[in-house]
Amino acid sequence: MSERTSYAAQPDLRSDCGNCFGLCCVALPFSRSSDFPVDKSAGTPCGNLREDFRCGIHRRLRDTGYNGCTVFDCFGAGQKVSQVTFKGVSWREEPDSARVMYEVFPVVRQLQELLKYVAQALDLSSAALVHRDLRRAYERLDALTRDPAETLLAVDVDALRGEVNPLLLRASELARAAVPGRGKNHRGANLMGSRLRGAKLRGASLRGALLIAADLSGADLRDADLIG
């Protein structure tokens, strides 16, 4: 892999809607809630999806109740499935490919998310001790995301996550060990609704912690581990 200033800042790990076939607007389901104003089943195009695969209400998503769309991140899976897996041929041009395309998208999204975590760990200079293993993991995952659709559908994402997780944990520990006066270990803690306004959580482990409705206003979360 060529030298880069940042692994995590690579274009491959960021959403590029202009090179995607609107996959998050078609492949994924959503239910009427505070995040969406209507129900939509998986494989059904959103009513706001235009012929050019752009969103017809992009500038008014929050105003029209589509809050969920504004926070969704595919980590670059959309353009990779569209342009690499299916070689730039859309589900509109080739309707027979639609079902497989919709099934592949969530798999690649999970792999891209895992790639993003590995990339972020590679950007931590204090985690240099595990950089070699992380680079191997990155190259393996990246190559996997470029495999044919049938290979991707057979991927055991949970098993891959289990293999990579120890490296991410070690990188996190190494990075946080260098933080002066680091916060407590809250790994896996139930902090639902907790009052953490202004809390000193720099370098703390919040990995897997339940933070629904927790007030983190003004909290110092620098160098904290927030992986779910």
Is 6 inside any structural domain? no
Greater confidence (7 vs 171) lies with 171
Q: Which domain holds residue 227?
A: 180-228
Is 1 inside any structural domain? no
Question: Tokens 């809607």 — which residue?
Answer: 17
What CATH number is associated with residue 218?
2.160.20.80
Task: Mark whether 119 and 205 lie in a shared domain.
Answer: no
Outline where DSSP puts E strands in the chain: none
Task: Mark whether 83 and 123 lie in a shared domain.
Answer: yes
Outline where DSSP puts E strands in 5-79: none
Outline where DSSP puts E strands in 49-89: none
Task: Mark whether 57 and 151 lie in a shared domain.
Answer: yes
Task: Mark whether 64 and 148 lie in a shared domain.
Answer: yes
Q: Give me 211's structure tokens.
A: 């933070």
Is 79 inside any structural domain? yes
Is 110 inside any structural domain? yes
Instruction: List pLDDT tens digits, range 131-180.
Output: 999 999 999 999 999 999 999 999 999 999 999 999 999 999 998 888 87
Task: Mark whether 216 and 141 lie in a shared domain.
Answer: no
| Total domains in the fold of the chain | 2
pTM, two decimals, is: 0.88
For the beta carbon of residue 20, count every other beta carbon within 10 angstroms.
23
Q: 175 with 124: CB under 8 angstroms?
A: yes
What average pLDDT is seen over the chain? 93
Among 127-131, 156-160, 208-212, which stretch is predicted with the lowest mean pLDDT? 208-212
Instruction: List pLDDT tens digits, range 70-107.
Output: 999 999 999 999 999 999 999 999 999 999 999 999 99
